[in-house]
Amino acid sequence: MKPIEITKGVFDVGVTDWNIRDFHGYSTDLGTTYNAFLIVDEKIALLDTVKKDFADQLLENITQIVDPQKIDVVISNHTEMDHSGSLARVMHRIGQDKALYCSKMGHKNLARHFPQQFNYHPVETGDELSLGDRTLTFMETRMLHWPDSMFTYLKEDKILFSSDGFGQHYAGPEKFDDQIDGDTIMYHAKKYFANILLLYAPLIQKLIERVAALGLEIKMICPDHGVIWRQDPGKIIDAYARWSRQVPAPKAVVLYDTMWHSTEMLAEAIVSGLLDAGVAAKPYHVRKWHRSEIMTAVFDARALIVGSPTLNNGLFPTLADILTYIKGLKPQNKIGAAFGSYGWSGEAVKLINEELKAINVEIVDPGLRVQYVPDKEALKAGFDFGRRIGKAVLG
């Protein structure tokens, strides 16, 4: 895409990856962007690069503004390869002796990624770099979401270059938040938080408190993925503050897989009971939904209800997969229960309860087990099971 001047002398020179559909296990049905930014002052600074495959496109975008060899400094806010993959190509083009600013952990990581000896300038929180009329201030944001991550703040323009913070995997014709429906882009931001940043929610709370204590005025947030927040950057900051507290909504997610539809019949009966109790609820057949979409739904749900048939005296493999994924992200403040159908042994409910406890879900019902095909009485039991959990959700 053609470079866009987001404010006088500051350009988005990043690229759009229209066709990526899987980002190491995260579904990117609408693609993504790798944003990079060029600041033209007495010194010219490039903030972040892009995925290796798009290096030439990045350099072409820069060329439309300045000769890349005129770049004086490069800032690496994050060493993950979707942002540093083209760094060696860029440094070769602009001159490998040019200053490369990164966090101390970034220095360590980049030195392991690239054998070239770049002119590293490791920085820490509070360090500044003058470009002439403009000043860059650096802020380490360790484990948001890598140890090397940092923010860069353009003091005079009040722009926060936030690396992976406040981003979204979204590719479209829109470049700014005021060019797209607010609910649409907030869903993508929420999905990004739920699947990439949730594990670090306590650190995000502290970071937001630290930014507030510094009294930084932020007029624009430029993440490394998705749209730029220029109309209302406070909206996404407030959302991160809320999401990081993990206060659940009064809703339930029912995850299940099924062999011959018996567990599916129970799932639908349970959802009916939840709805009857006044709780928003939805069933998710886990083979029909991508795990990152499921996690987005689970993220702010109060109740997580999981159902599986018993297969080889164990869980259905797809349920083991999604429960492992959820466990790694460490969601908090959830209640839950298990259900399932079986033929002759019926261990699945017990195993699900063990997995839910490992996720730190409070078990509010011992579970529902039904042998073979649910009859009218069993479906009524499923409905009542849903109602009981619904009442627990509403507390």
Same domain, 237 and 258: no
Catalytic site residue 113? no
Give residue 215's pLDDT.
Answer: 83
Same domain, 307 and 237: no
Catalytic site residue 78? yes
SS3 annotation, the chain = CCCEEEECCEEECCEEECCCCEECCEECCCCEEECCEEEECCCEEEECCCCHHHHHHHHHHHHCCCCHHHCCEEEECCCCHHHHCCHHHHHHHHCCCCEEEEEHHHHHHHHHHCCCCCEEEEECCCCEEECCCCEEEEEECCCCCCCCCEEEEECCCCEEEEECCCCCCCCCCCCEHHHCCHHHHHHHHHHHHHHHHHHHHHHHHHHHHHHHHHCCCCCEEEECCCCEECCCHHHHHHHHHHHHHCCCEEEEEEEECCCCCHHHHHHHHHHHHHHHCCCEEEEEECCCCCHHHHHHHHHCEEEEEEECCCECCECCHHHHHHHHHHHHHCCCCCEEEEEEEECCCCCHHHHHHHHHHHCCCEECCCCEEEECCCCHHHHHHHHHHHHHHHHHHHC
Query: Which of 217, 245, 273 is the C-terminal boundary of a domain?
Result: 245
Average pLDDT across the chain, whole number:
95
Give residue 26's pLDDT.
Answer: 92
Query: Which of 245, 276, 305 is the C-terminal boundary of a domain?
Result: 245
Q: What is the mean pLDDT of residues 377-383?
A: 97
Same domain, 99 and 200: yes
- In the chain, the number of structural domains is 2
Catalytic site residue 261? no
Give residue 194's pLDDT.
Answer: 97
227-245 pLDDT, tens digit per residue, is 999 999 999 999 999 999 9
Same domain, 294 and 153: no
Give residue 339's pLDDT.
Answer: 98
Same domain, 217 and 261: no
Query: Which of 207, 230, 245 is the C-terminal boundary of a domain?
Result: 245
Q: Which residues neighbour 62 within 8 Å (Cβ) at sequence distance 6 or greater?
A: 3, 13, 38, 46, 68, 71
Same domain, 212 and 319: no
Residue 300 has pLDDT above 80, yes or no: yes
Q: Which residues neighbour 178 within 8 Å (Cβ) at sequence distance 6 or greater?
A: 230, 231, 232
Catalytic site residue 24? yes
Q: Which of 82, 224, 257, 300 is catalytic?
A: 82
Note the pTM of the prediction, 2 decimals.
0.94
Domain limits for position 272: 252-394
Give residue 214's pLDDT.
Answer: 79
Q: What is the mean pLDDT of residues 367-395?
A: 96
Q: Which of 225, 240, 256, 300 is catalytic?
A: 225
Pairing of β 335-342 and β 301-307: parallel
24-60 pLDDT, tens digit per residue, is 889 999 999 999 999 999 999 999 999 999 999 999 9
Give residue 211's pLDDT.
Answer: 80
Same domain, 373 and 347: yes
Same domain, 232 and 305: no
Q: Which of 48, 78, 224, 268 is catalytic?
A: 78
Same domain, 158 and 53: yes
CATH, residue 53: 3.60.15.10
Q: Which of 26, 34, 170, 192 is catalytic?
A: 192
Residue 1 has pLDDT above 80, yes or no: no
126-173 pLDDT, tens digit per residue, is 999 999 999 999 999 988 888 899 999 999 999 999 999 999 999 999
Give residue 312's pLDDT.
Answer: 92
Confidence of residue 363 (pLDDT cuts 50, 70, 90): very high
Q: What is the mean pLDDT of residues 384-392?
A: 98
Residue 12 has pLDDT above 90, yes or no: yes
CATH, residue 344: 3.40.50.360
Q: What is the mean pLDDT of residues 110-130?
A: 93
Confidence of residue 394 (pLDDT cuts 50, 70, 90): very high
Q: Which of 17, 48, 80, 148 is catalytic?
A: 80
Could you tell me what percent of the chain has a pLDDT over 90? 91
Could you tell me what percent of the chain has a pLDDT over 70? 100
Catalytic site residue 97? no
Same domain, 232 and 284: no
Q: Which residues neighbour 35 within 8 Å (Cβ) at sequence distance 6 or greater?
A: 12, 14, 48, 222, 223, 224, 225, 226, 228
Confidence of residue 89 (pLDDT cuts 50, 70, 90): very high
Residue 285 has pLDDT above 90, yes or no: yes
Catalytic site residue 285? no
Q: Which of 107, 145, 169, 188 is catalytic?
A: 145
187-202 pLDDT, tens digit per residue, is 999 999 999 999 999 9
| Burial (CB count <10 Å: 0-12, 13-18, 19+), residue 378 | buried
Residue 270 has pLDDT above 80, yes or no: yes
Q: Which residues neighbour 173 within 8 Å (Cβ) at sequence distance 6 or greater?
A: 179
Q: Which of 140, 148, 164, 224 is catalytic?
A: 164
Residue 213 has pLDDT above 90, yes or no: no
Q: What is the mean pLDDT of residues 61-74?
A: 98
Same domain, 192 and 293: no
Same domain, 38 and 183: yes
